[in-house]
Amino acid sequence: MRPEINRYPLLSYSIFLLLALLFAWNAAWAQSQQQPNAPPKLSSRPQQNPNAPRPTPYPDLASIHVQSTLVQAPVTVIDPSGQFVENLAESDFRILDNGVPQRISKFGLAMQPVALVILVQTNKAVGPLLNQVRPLGSLFSGLLLGKPGQAALITFDDTVRVDQDFTGDPNALAQALQHITTGGTKARLNDALGRAILMLANRPTQERRVVIVFSEGTDNGSETTRDEIIRAATGAGVAIYGLRFSPVQALLHNQQEPPPPNTLARNMALPGPPGRPQTPNNVAVYNQNSDISVIPLASGASQAIRSLHGKDLVEVYAGYTGGVTYSHWKANELQKQLTRIALEINSQYMLAYTPSTLNEPGFHRLQIEVVEPNLRVRSREGYFYGMKNR
């Protein structure tokens, strides 16, 4: 028997071709859905307003607030000559919380180890002054920290960087300070302080928490606000001290050494005595006692500084937290000022009490007084209780 012959070869071939084309189209469509560069699908979600306020880079700051009923306050006492007083008794102190006298439950010289964060502004504006900061590692380790204390280093300009985490190794801290570099034009002071406060808030509760800031005292570029820093610092019990960079000093460091004065040219440029020959000697004698105003070399920078609006932020933070700032930057005074901060921290009293005013949420004003009227007392301004950072 002869095999059956397909009578419709063209139709079979057409169906086969159509099925192959459909298969290839399906494969191509599926592959296009997996392409990473495929255009995004349109969405009905509204776009974010670019002018809306940006969230703080450290949202955990909002979680820092006083929860314990025991309030601790490091206290500095200074006599009229500027010396720290370390021989007072508990009966010499009086604490008021929101104006209400409180009973002191713990008292003594502050002997707790120190947890320190060093903040250094490193933008181009202060770059010429950083050589004065780089050799200070031994001062921090020897005078302030001692063996039980630990320090960390944060630098900030356009970004915030933890150059050295907490360490008790003096060599590690010294090396980190020696290798700080200049970069950027901004000064994200608040963001750097926010990072420092978070680092200190995670330290053991028995440590005294301190930040020392080398900065111009102004902020440029931060997302963290001043109020967030004040709330977080007072909530975490962080004392902020400042050593203020001077833009005038930075300009002076950048200037080249002026050429030696030409006495003849200078004298001949001044007015001479009336009716007498204008010789160098006559001109010099005539102008010796004259009241001639001299324009300072950095008058432009001074004018720019005077035009800055607002207060020194570090000074504000120091006032709230019980620290102090030194605003007169001089190369030969820097180590003295840092030494005085170290002596102060190691000469403090530690007072603690359980407030009788905890039914009052919000900011609690803290006042600490001593019996002797000639003594000055410095401590933090207060703390926030019963409310979170916003």
Which architecture does CATH list for 111-252+299-347? 3-Layer(aba) Sandwich (3.40)
pLDDT of residue 17 exceeding 70: no
What's the confidence (pLDDT) of residue 61?
72
Asked if residues 145 and 239 have their Cβ atoms less than 8 Å apart, the reply is: no
Q: Is residue 215 within 8 Å of 298, Cβ to Cβ?
A: no
Extents of the domains making up the chain? 61-110+348-390, 111-252+299-347
pLDDT-based confidence at residue 60 (cuts at 50, 70, 90) = confident
Q: 122-131, 219-228, 324-333, 357-366 — which is least confidently predicted?
A: 324-333
pLDDT digits (tens, 9 = 90+) for 346-356: 899 999 999 99
Q: How confident is the model at residue 181 (pLDDT cuts 50, 70, 90)?
A: very high
Mean pLDDT in residue range 178-193: 95
| pLDDT score recorded for residue 385 | 80
Instruction: Kindly report, residue by residue over 136-166, the tens digit of the pLDDT.
Output: 888 888 878 877 899 999 999 999 999 999 9
What confidence score (pLDDT) does residue 46 get?
43
Q: Which CATH class is domain 61-110+348-390?
A: mainly beta
Summarised one tens digit per residue, pLDDT across range 227-280 is 999 999 988 899 999 998 876 554 554 544 444 444 444 444 444 555 555 554
Stretch among 75-89, 129-143, 156-170, 302-316 having the lowest mean pLDDT: 302-316
Is residue 114 pLDDT above 60, yes or no? yes
Q: Which of the listed ranges 39-48, 166-175, 265-274 does the model predict with the highest average pLDDT? A: 166-175
Distance between CA atoms of residues 191 and 197, nearest Å: 10
